[in-house]
């Protein structure tokens, strides 16, 4: 069954890829960044909220700011490895310009014009402001360089053809926000949807690996094995906003269990942000609607 599903998915991806052969990568207009200058301290906040180190640090290393990559991301399509994004000019991104980083995080496109895989959550980062990306660039350049080469991905045909991602992007790439919110929730939405990419883990995916926005934050199978990633929607999560903010700060649930798994890295990051930002995220979480009934019968729970 699973095999058939995979073949169908493969066929669909090829179909989309061939049908949309003209899906050339879209780029950021360079003028947007010409007059912006980046601020290292502000960039550190963007970096922390966005969880860049959580994926790009060396697995098991003490120093999480050496972004030499190597962490594995298993998926239905194969295993991806986070690349080296330290400022080393050959192994990392030391020779990049701010516009290269903008194209990577906001368009999912490499300096050579290839599509990145969405395991790199650019479908969230594409909502970031230009200034935040400029600040982020300044901060990344201030980190230590490391010459360890990036590990190649372990993905089979047809997913190893980056061109076929053009089809995926046409289906799922969107820099529109998922949730409509009043003005006082905009900061929370920015943190959740544009930076902290909470939905990448907490939202189930459809057969093509796109987030099922009709079940936004409704919980999902754990991609790296046992268990499920819990729902944040009000039908399941009964915590108060204060509980959510305290969890993001301390890792403690209302029952004083303590956070685990990949969420521990999210908490490590949010513990370093301001109380206002944690409260803003909590307010967004509390505003989530209950999900629509699951009719897909696919990978969602």
Partner 1 sequence: MKKSFATVAVLATLATTAMAEVPQAVKARQGQFNIMALNLGILGGMAKGQVEYNAEAAQAAADSLVAVSMIHQTALWPEGTDADSIEGTRALPAIWANIDDVVAKWGAFGEAAKAMQAAAGQGQDQIGPNMGAIGGSCKGCHDTYRAPQ
What is the Cα–Cα distance from 73 to 159, expressed in whole angstroms? 15
Among 74, 89, 227, 289, binds partner 1 (CB under 8 A): 227
Whichever of 105 and 211 has its CB closer to ligand HEC, that residue is 105
| Interface region with partner 1, contact rule CB under 8 A, candidates 10-18, 101-109, 156-164, 245-253 | 245-253
Among 267, 287, 294, 299, binds partner 1 (CB under 8 A): 267
Among 90, 258, 274, 298, binds partner 1 (CB under 8 A): 258
Query: How is residue 141 written in tokens?
Result: 């350049």
Q: Are 17 and 164 in contact (CB under 8 A)?
A: yes
Residue 257 is a binding residue for partner 1 (CB under 8 A): yes
- H, E, C per residue of 6-67: HHHHHHHHHHHHHHCCCCCCCCCCCHHHHCCCCCHHHHHHHHHHHCHHHHHCCCCCCCCCCC
State the minimum distance, in angstroms, from the CB of residue 202 to partner 1: 11
Residue 39 is a binding residue for partner 1 (CB under 8 A): no
Range 42-101, binding ligand HEC (CB under 6 A)? 50-52, 54-56, 73, 80, 82-83, 85, 93, 101
Residue 247 is a binding residue for ligand HEC (CB under 6 A): yes
**Alpha helices, DSSP H, located in 57-145:** 98-102, 122-125, 130-141
Whichever of 114 and 274 has its CB closer to partner 1, that residue is 274
Query: How is residue 139 written in tokens?
Result: 């901060």
What is the Cα–Cα distance from 12 to 159, expressed in whole angstroms? 11
Q: Using CB under 8 A, list all residues that contact partner 1.
A: 222, 225-230, 246, 250-252, 255-265, 267-268
């Amino acid at each position: 069954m699973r095999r058939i599903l995979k073949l169908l998915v493969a066929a669909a991806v090829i179909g989309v890829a061939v049908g949309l052969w003209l899906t050339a990568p879209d780029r950021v207009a360079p003028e947007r960044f010409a007059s912006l200058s980046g601020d290292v301290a502000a960039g550190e906040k963007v970096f922390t909220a966005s969880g860049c180190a959580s994926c790009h640090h060396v697995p098991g290393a003490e120093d999480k700011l050496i972004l030499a990559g190597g962490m594995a991301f298993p998926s239905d399509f194969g295993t991806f490895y986070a690349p080296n994004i330290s400022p080393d000019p050959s192994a990392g991104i030391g020779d990049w310009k701010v516009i290269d980083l903008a194209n990577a995080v906001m368009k999912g496109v490499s300096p050579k014009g290839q599509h990145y895989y969405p395991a790199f959550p650019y479908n969230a980062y594409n909502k970031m402001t230009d200034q935040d990306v400029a600040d982020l660039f300044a901060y990344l350049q201030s980190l230590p360089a490391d010459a360890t080469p990036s590990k190649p991905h372990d993905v089979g045909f047809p997913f190893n053809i980056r061109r076929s991602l053009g089809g995926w992007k046409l289906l799922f790439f969107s820099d529109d926000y998922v949730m409509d919110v009043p003005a006082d929730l905009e900061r929370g939405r920015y943190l959740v949807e544009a930076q902290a990419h909470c939905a990448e883990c907490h939202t189930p995916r459809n057969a093509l690996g796109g987030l099922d926005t009709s079940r936004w934050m409704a919980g999902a199978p754990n991609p790296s094995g046992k268990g499920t990633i819990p729902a944040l929607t009000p039908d399941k999560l009964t915590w108060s906003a204060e509980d959510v903010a305290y969890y993001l700060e301390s890792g403690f649930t209302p029952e004083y269990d303590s956070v685990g798994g990949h969420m521990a890295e999210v908490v490590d990051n949010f513990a370093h942000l301001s109380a206002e930002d944690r409260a803003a995220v909590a307010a967004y979480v509390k505003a989530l609607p209950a999900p629509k009934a699951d009719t897909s019968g696919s990978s969602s729970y």
